[in-house]
Chains A and B, each alone.
Chain A
């Protein structure tokens, strides 16, 4: 492979891919959510634009692109403009560190399916994904309006609280895998023969609940609770800036689902590695397994949304401080003890 291809084209291709991949996933997710929720409610959902309505998110995005962009006169213009970008790009940037599979060998060249490999990839991804909350806070504050401000305040408390159990459960994974490298974590799961989700079910459950709360999704969608706060922190946003918030929420969901799959469900590994009769599953490319697993968790998001009412603020905080954090702490201690005794 010529140096030109290796040094220039492939990085450029990767950059395009890392933008396209989350965006396509977001579009698919938006369509999926609207269709699946509709079907769960005995409706049909979007089915007019394109085959079965798959182009619906495209039409939505295009329409929003051509909408007028309103900045309220009382708003803090700089922060008002920055926050949607901050939210969108922190989610997209995190995707640079999320591997999509094992490196592929093309002749002598090794194509890695990630943009940046880092020994502390896990920390970076979590850190970047929590930056997006600043976008929410700034956006809510800069709107200079009461409902967005209340949404932003709710968001602060919620994210601050739920980061703790999230961090504690991630710690158990890092502890067991003895690595913070996302690729390495998957490899360790392959080597140990059991996915961490089955090894440490409590870690997985706490992580998942906290992750749903982190992404501001039902039943934890208090910062944008429609029946209470109109549209929450993005009430004053219109056009493309609103689209950024909207897409960032879904990008965040894709990111969190990817993390769950990598940390707890073996990433791109095929299921049942120890069952000889199912060896043919290895023939399916790892990326396909990866996508299937992500889709499952995205579906779970939608399922939860269609089923549960919204938490109230105090019970939300009670849930995390009285249940999740003690549980995560006990779980962490247990993991350390078991690991130490063995």
Chain B
């Protein structure tokens, strides 16, 4: 029951993260900013619109958002909630999760390619490029956690992450968290990898791929992006919140709070640094990769 409640909570709360990010950014920009719940309204509005399809597209263009959303929904079933078991937890589930996110990416990219628009193709090209560098870093970060905790499922790993582990292996966990954070930014197309607020198609990654989508399709994409933000953010929150109390409510509250703190941190980050040049992004991801490798080395040396 709790598991279902957790899952529903994720489904309802994740669009709020984007609202938080935007409010924080507006605060730093000295603006009032859009309402916190704007995304909910947008989604609602979009679901009721009639889409417009390009003549060059096929069924794949329509299937892209569906698969993208479905895959992320499934991936979320694997992601732990406040260090507690999710309902699709098994040994090796992290592999399934990463590959499900890959499926979502693959579907989005193909849908973008279906339009035959150079801009969307360009975005798709960048999306796959960054994934190539981000995914090994992500995998190795999880491998470091697995070696540290001796567990092979995400839920068990984070459940096994106690304050004692943090005390004894703070350096490892800090490195892992840093790596995860970079991957989190890259995979969700946040600054410094991508700027969701830019208005020039040539410089975008994720947004540009959705240029042609409209109506419910666009709603699925936006919602899927919000869920993905939660999915990856949850891993970081779980990593930095090692303490588990007996009460599910306390834990959940703390965890959700942490998620918003994370969103706020992203907002702060986006306000104080600029987007990197595309050529530099691989270096950033390599940094994450080296953090993961370093974490593994420290872990091995312990």
Bound pair (A, B): no
Q: Which residues of B contact A (CB under 8 A)?
A: none
